[in-house]
């Protein structure tokens, strides 16, 4: 079946603008994760959704970052008032349930100018 | 501490050689240790994973060795091929938790 998809694949925005990134998880996967990958670095956890439970937002770096998920489907990550340090690849992953293998999408490369 | 430390940062191996990447962790609550392979412009792809109740797991040319007492685990790529050239990440998670904790990554280059 289809894997995790993300859109857009690339996004260039001006400093101070808001951006919205989208993730479509694998059908039937109840858990969804967002990570950030800065150039040449490992992945940094941002937020986690599991079914209808309250999300784990403990990795969000500031209150400019927020994410939503509708049921067990699409998720959007919103970054308000973007800063240059927000430039990174934002990766979404999903798993059948918590603790299972996580499958990653191709990412959205965000460049803040 | 939830760190996972990975080494080396980069590795160059000749075709047919053995590539070895090492990771060390601190949190003894971790109970699942996956390795991910990432090609440029792509998301990480799960390569192989191990749980701490075994000391070794082999899948084709890829082997994970796990040393629970030392809190270390390593990836061995036998008969390395140019197509294996990618960035490799080790990771750790406790399966009742949520987040994967990743190492910093190793950029592997296999020369033909």
Which pLDDT value is given to residue A99? 65
Q: Do B97 and A106 touch (CB under 8 A)?
A: no
Give the residue on A whose Cα is nearest the Cα of B30: A99
Which pLDDT value is given to residue A52? 84
pLDDT greater than 70 at residue B2:
no
Q: Do B101 and A41 touch (CB under 8 A)?
A: no
**What six digits make up the tokens of A84?**
């240059």
Which pLDDT value is given to residue A18? 98
Which pLDDT value is given to residue B81? 98
Which pLDDT value is given to residue A96? 86
Q: What is the mean pLDDT of each run of 10 residues along chain A (113 residues)?
A: 90 98 94 92 91 90 95 93 97 84 94 97
For A112, residues 6+ apart whose C-beta sits below 8 A from its C-beta are A13, A14, A15, A82, A83, A84, A85, A86, A87
**Facing B95 at nearest CB: one of A43, A99, A104:** A99
Cβ atoms of residues A25 and A91 within 8 Å: no
B83-111: pLDDT as tens digits = 999 999 999 988 776 788 999 999 999 99
Instruction: For residues B99 and B47, give the distance between their C-alpha atoms in angstroms, rounded to a whole number.
Output: 18
* Min Cα–Cα distance to chain A from B45, Å: 7
B66-74 long-range contacts (CB < 8 A, ≥24 apart) are: B66/B33, B70/B24, B71/B24, B71/B25, B71/B26, B71/B28, B72/B22, B72/B23, B72/B24, B72/B25, B73/B22, B73/B23, B73/B25, B73/B33, B74/B20, B74/B21, B74/B22, B74/B23
Q: Do B102 and A42 touch (CB under 8 A)?
A: yes
Query: Taking chain A, what is the end-to-end CA distance rounded to the nearest angstrom?
Result: 37
| B9-27 mean pLDDT | 97
Instruction: For residues B1 and A18, give the distance between their C-alpha atoms in angstroms, rounded to a whole number.
Output: 33
Q: Do B101 and A103 touch (CB under 8 A)?
A: no
* Min Cα–Cα distance to chain A from B85, Å: 15
A55 touches chain B (CB under 8 A): no
Cβ neighbours of B101 in A, within 8 Å: 45
**What six digits make up the tokens of B56?**
């070794």
B26-79: pLDDT as tens digits = 988 898 999 999 999 899 999 999 999 999 999 999 999 999 999 999 999 999
Which pLDDT value is given to residue A76? 97
């Amino acid at each position: 079946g289809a894997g995790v998809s993300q859109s857009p694949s690339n996004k260039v925005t001006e400093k101070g603008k808001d951006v919205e990134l989208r993730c479509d998880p694998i059908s039937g996967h109840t858990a969804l994760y967002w990570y950030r990958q800065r150039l040449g670095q490992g992945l940094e956890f941002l937020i986690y959704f599991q079914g209808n439970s309250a999300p784990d937002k403990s990795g969000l770096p500031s209150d400019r970052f927020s994410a939503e998920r509708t049921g067990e489907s699409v998720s959007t990550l919103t970054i308000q008032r973007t800063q240059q340090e927000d430039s990174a690849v934002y990766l979404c992953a999903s798993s059948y349930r918590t603790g299972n293998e996580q499958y990653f999408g191709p990412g959205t490369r965000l460049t803040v100018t | 501490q939830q760190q996972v430390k990975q080494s080396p940062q980069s590795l160059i191996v000749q075709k047919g050689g053995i590539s070895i990447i090492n990771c060390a962790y601190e949190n003894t609550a971790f109970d699942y240790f996956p390795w991910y392979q990432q090609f440029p412009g792509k998301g990480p792809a799960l390569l192989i994973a191990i749980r701490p109740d075994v000391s070794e797991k082999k899948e084709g040319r890829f082997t994970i060795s796990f040393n629970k007492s030392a809190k270390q685990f390593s990836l061995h790529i036998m008969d390395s091929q140019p197509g294996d050239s990618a960035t490799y990440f080790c990771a750790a998670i406790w399966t009742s938790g949520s987040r994967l904790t990743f190492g910093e990554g190793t950029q592997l280059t296999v020369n033909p």
